[in-house]
Amino acid sequence: MALTPSQEIDKFIKELTDWRGKWIANFRALILKTAPEVTEDWKWGVPVWTYKGNVVASGVFKDHVKLNFFKGASLKDPKHLFNAGLDAKATRAIDIGESDRIDEAALKELVREAVAYNTSGSQKK
């Protein structure tokens, strides 16, 4: 029997027994609380949160966690959270290492803006 996307994410987090699993779990809680309208999905072997299209995906690497905002190039990033994929046409990413701290308020704002961008029909503001 196939797992639901939420069950896949649960399994993904459970199997990451180090700081990366805790980080993904915390981000998951943050995004679901900040944007309760998003839906959890499982695409490309990673957690993806969607609302009227893909919003953000979370990938894990040996030394960092990546938050990939699908329409990141169109979002305002006044706190300069985006630090990866800055040359991509549409996406922007945030790479977070084990000892990195992230401005949670700014991350929530970025999540809200990404959801709003999808809601607006993806027109440039």
Nearest in space to 23 (alpha carbons), one of 50, 53, 71, 58? 58
pLDDT digits (tens, 9 = 90+) for 52-80: 999 999 999 999 999 999 999 999 999 99
- Whether the model clears a pTM of 0.85, i.e. scores above it, the answer is yes
What is the mean pLDDT of the segment spanning 23-47?
97
Q: In whole angstroms, what separates CA 71 from the centre of its chain?
A: 11
Give the fold, CATH level 3, of 5-119.
Aspartate Aminotransferase, domain 1 (3.90.1150)
* Angle between helix 104-119 and helix 19-34 axes, rounded to 10 deg: 50
Going from the C-alpha of 12 to that of each of 16, 22, 28, 59, the distances in angstroms are 6, 11, 12, 10
Domain boundaries, the chain: 5-119
